[in-house]
Amino acid sequence: MKLISGTAHPALADAIATHLATTVADVSVSAFPDGETYAKINENVRGEDVFIIQPTCPPTNHNLMEMLILVDAVRRASAERITAVIPFFGYARQDRKDQSRVPITAKLVANLISAAGVDRVLTMDLHAAQIQGFFDIPVDHLYAKPVLLRYLKEVRGEDGTNLTVVSPDVGGVKMARSYALALGAELAIVAKNRISATQVEASTLIGVVEGRDVVLVDDMTETAGTLCAAAEVLKENGAGRIYAAVSHAVLGPLGCERILKSEIDEVITTDSTPGGCEEKVTRVSVGGLLGEAIRRIGEGKSVSSLFDIDGSTV
């Protein structure tokens, strides 16, 4: 087994390697003066089971292209099998034609990954689960839920007694319900109206939050507009402490500023993407979860047990 890391998130690759009691392979990645990416594998990978770890987070195009170049280098070096480990799958929100004459870019990216020579994909909390069907190769789809739940239970001491899990939009109800069942908590929904790519208006609350702690659940946040708008509605309706449990926090300056000024007490997210925001954001590692999945894939064992809600296998 060989672990190879691109430049998108080497810290996560190191965490995965630590869990597996191994090291990341020696790889050189650089750029030519005109911006073209150059990669060289400095170790023998002939006949090896290779795992290339590269979230396609911002800069998305650069990280995606770098991963494809690494895949091509490994394939031409005669690796036995190549697995693309993509903790955060960029372009996942472009999964359908919602307007005339627009692309389905998530499908295009799936095609590019397959054409480059990837044999298998390992990813986590896709924005739309059906994206798995865009690939004609096996896809192992993990969930960050066990890791986030463990933090809520063990660190924040939440046992569901005085807790409500809230979906910040109607589309996230299924995910929020699974968290509520796992925590033994109540469920509520905030209906939202998206004004633009960066502006969201939260309007109606369905459920009871008065005097209760609240956990907002979402798969990803970038500008934090949805979360912050929902938190404002929840606080107006008497909510106590407000947490946000988010699988992927791809936060830029706007998102960090909004969270800092919002009613949210803490955003709990994973290290599926590199850090951003020093205040109010806690990142819990999925290195163990991904590492265990890689171990089982390498050994030909079942990965499905990693979906256990209590996370006891990681």
pLDDT in tens, 44-102: 999 999 999 999 999 999 999 999 999 999 999 999 999 999 999 999 999 999 899 99
Residues contacting residue 5 through CB under 8 Å, at least 6 positions apart: 13, 14, 24, 27, 52, 53, 54
Residues that are catalytic: 192
Looking at every residue in the chain, the average pLDDT score rounds to 92
3-state secondary structure of 137: coil
Residue 313 inside a domain? The answer is no
Task: Count the domains in the chain.
Answer: 2
Tokens of 233: 């509605």
Tens digit of each residue's pLDDT (9 = 90 or more) over 161-209: 899 999 998 888 999 999 999 999 999 999 866 666 556 565 789 999 9
More reliable by pLDDT, 279 or 268: 268
With pLDDT > 70 as the criterion, what percentage of the chain qualifies? 94
Cα distances from 246 to residues 102, 192, 219, 251, 272, in angstroms, run 28, 17, 5, 11, 11
105 close to 91: Cβ distance less than 8 angstroms? yes
Asked whether residue 29 falls in the same domain as residue 115, the answer is yes
Distance CA 54, CA 70 (A): 10
Asked whether residue 175 falls in the same domain as residue 280, the answer is yes
Most confident region among 56-70, 143-157, 184-198, 271-285 by mean pLDDT: 56-70
Asked whether residue 139 falls in the same domain as residue 156, the answer is no
Instruction: Give residue 217's pLDDT band: very low, low, confident or very high (50, 70, 90).
Output: very high
Tokens of 47: 């006949």
Asked whether residue 18 falls in the same domain as residue 139, the answer is yes
Asked whether residue 125 falls in the same domain as residue 178, the answer is no
Q: What is the mean pLDDT of residues 107-122?
A: 98
Q: What is the pTM of this model?
A: 0.92
Q: What is the CA radius of gyration of the chain?
A: 20
Residue 192 inside a domain? The answer is yes
Asked whether residue 247 falls in the same domain as residue 115, the answer is no
Domain CATH number, residue 68: 3.40.50.2020
Asked whether residue 152 falls in the same domain as residue 234, the answer is yes
Backbone dihedral angles phi then psi of residue 147, each to the nearest 5 degrees: -70, -45
Asked whether residue 128 falls in the same domain as residue 220, the answer is no
Asked whether residue 187 falls in the same domain as residue 135, the answer is no
Asked whether residue 248 falls in the same domain as residue 291, the answer is no
Q: What is the mean pLDDT of residues 148-157?
A: 92
What is the span of the domain harbouring residue 253? 145-284
For the cut 70, the answer to whether the pLDDT of residue 25 exceeds it is yes
**DSSP3 helix / strand / coil % (the chain, rounded to 5):** 35, 25, 40
Position 267 scores a pLDDT of 97
Asked whether residue 91 falls in the same domain as residue 149, the answer is no
Residue 314 inside a domain? The answer is no
Residues contacting residue 133 through CB under 8 Å, at least 6 positions apart: none
Residue 172 inside a domain? The answer is yes
Asked whether residue 180 falls in the same domain as residue 258, the answer is yes
